[in-house]
Amino acid sequence: MAESSFGERLSVTVSARGSLCVGIDPHPFLLSSWGLPDSAEGLKAFGLAVVAAAAGRVGIVKPQVAFFERHGSRGFAALENVLQAAREAGLLVIADAKRGDLGTSVEAYGQAWLTPGGPLEADAMTVNAYQGVDSLSDTIALARHAGKGLFVLAATSNPEAAATQTARIVSGGRAGLSVAAGIVDEVIALNSSDKTGWGSFGVVLGATVTAADYGISLDSLAGPSGTPILAPGFGHQGAAFAHIPTLYGAAAPFVLAATSRAVLSAGRDGIESAIERAAEELAKCRA
């Protein structure tokens, strides 16, 4: 068993460095604007530069795996270098992989991203529970043992997901809840053994959606053990840090505000200042 849980480390990190989560999303247009090629070498240079800019300014980074995956084995090799650099810089790393399956397949996904010492080791990963939260049981067990975390997609910031995520569960113990609320309910239960502080299992609740529209109770996310909320949608997608208290209510202290293009668009020479400004703005909104 790990000496500390992901929730414990996350709590310490947020207390020391704030709750801004900087995305490492090497879009082709960003690579071009940074003067980098859309190649594995460009991805590596981009990722390492973001890690260097984030280190000492924030505590959490979130590489979007898909942009590295586009370049096959060379892209994954570049990602391995970025992940290693982030860990060595003392940053918590959330691999935005959105993996989901069942049985040995989802167990293998967990082993890929959560195994200590593995080439793709991260502190946490995003997962998709379309087959049900219970389908993630092997990955959940691995995360507990290794001191890692999971963020389960619940109410995401893309509008095309709303029809599925607001659909009602028609059978089982959570019948009548929306799909999103049912997922949130199950994730909260995973944290029930953590009596106080931050749990190790979180949910993705986009900052461009309203929890009440999905039947989600924000009070339940707040405690007694807080459920971490990974909140995309700040900056380019229109949400502002000042909206956090209204959007997340009692659960606002457990929100990790994710931003990517809003700071990455500042370019290689401006990203340090952009991250500092975003972190300061977020801190003022939380004061």
Which residues form the catalytic set?
Answer: 98
Backbone angles phi, psi at 168, to 5 degrees: -90, 140
Q: Which two tokens stand for residue 269?
A: 């020479």
What is the C-alpha to C-alpha distance for residues 62 and 80, in angstroms, rounded to an integer?
Answer: 13
What is the C-alpha to C-alpha distance for residues 110 and 62, in angstroms, rounded to an integer?
Answer: 17
Nearest to 58 by CA among 34, 86, 84: 86
Is the distance from CB of 111 to CB of 135 less than 8 angstroms? no
- Beta-bridge partners for 205: 155
Map residue 129 onto helix, strand or coil. coil
What is the C-alpha to C-alpha distance for residues 14 and 60, in angstroms, rounded to an integer?
Answer: 9
Name the E strands within the chain: 20-24, 60-63, 92-99, 124-127, 149-155, 201-205, 229-231, 255-259
What is the C-alpha to C-alpha distance for residues 131 and 22, in angstroms, rounded to an integer?
Answer: 29
Q: How much of the chain is in helix, strand and coil states, percent to nearest 5?
A: 50, 15, 35
Question: CA-CA distances (angstroms) from residue 224 to 15, 228, 253?
Answer: 18, 12, 13
Is the distance from CB of 20 to CB of 52 less than 8 angstroms? no
